Amino acid sequence: MKLYLIRHGETDQNKNEIIQGRGDFKLSVSGISQAQEAGKTLKTNNYIFTKAYSSPLSRAYDTLSLILKEMDLDLNIIIKNNLIERDFGELEGLKLTKDVRMRFIAEDARGFEKRDVLFKRVQNILNNIASESDARDSIIIVTHSHIIKPLLMMLDEKTYDYNTKLDNLGMAELAYENGEFKLISLYGGLKDGQIHNQR
C-alpha cells in the first residue's frame, strides 16, 4: 500500500504568515494555480490513485478536488475529521512573530493541542485509513502542515522536526506493510512537470 500525504495549496493567510489552525480559509489565486499544476505534474509522472482522503477544511478539500480534476480521476473524496489542522488555540489568527514562535514551541497558549495528543491523533487516523484499504491501494491524502510534520517526526525523529520546510503542495510518500508505515521520500513541490525531491 502506498500513501501520499500532500499539504494544501496556498491561502492568503499562508502568504501573510498568519496562523490559520482550524479556521476555514479558501485557497488564494496562487493556491488554486498550485493545485492545478500539482495535478498536471502527477499525471505527467504517471501517478494513479485508487482512493482519496481530505481534511474537512476547504483549503484541503479544494486542493484535492483540483488535483483529481487535472488527473482525470473520478474518485469519491472521503472526508476524515481527524485530518484537520492542529488546534493552535488562542494563537490562531496571530502573525507568526518571534514572540509567537516562542509560545508556539513552548505550547504556551490556551486551547493549544499538545504534542502527545496530536501525535496520537495522527497515528490513529493513518491506522484508520490503512485498515479500510488493501495492499493494492494507492492513496492520496490532502491535509495540513501539522499533520504531515508530526508524521515525519514519528517516522524519522533524527531528521525532522517542526522547523522542517514543507511548502504548499509538498508531498510525503509512505509505504504500509505488515502493520508499519515507512517514509519513502519527501518531495518539496509538484510543479512544472517535475516532482522535486527533498529527501
**Rounded-to-integer distance, Cα 184 and Cα 46, Å:** 17
Contact assessment for residue 27 and residue 9, using Cβ atoms and an 8 Å cutoff: yes
Beta strands (DSSP E) in the chain are 2-7, 51-54, 77-79, 138-143, 171-177, 180-191, 194-197
**Rounded-to-integer distance, Cα 46 and Cα 50, Å:** 13
C-alpha dihedral sign at 160, 143, 30, 198: positive
**Rounded-to-integer distance, Cα 146 and Cα 72, Å:** 29
Grid cell in block for residue 45: 509522472
**Residue 144 annotated in active site:** no
Q: CB within 8 A of 155, min separation 6: which ones?
A: 174, 181, 182, 183
Grid cell in block for residue 74: 473520478
**Residue 8 annotated in active site:** yes
Catalytic residue among 10, 37, 70, 85: 85
Catalytic site positions: 8, 85
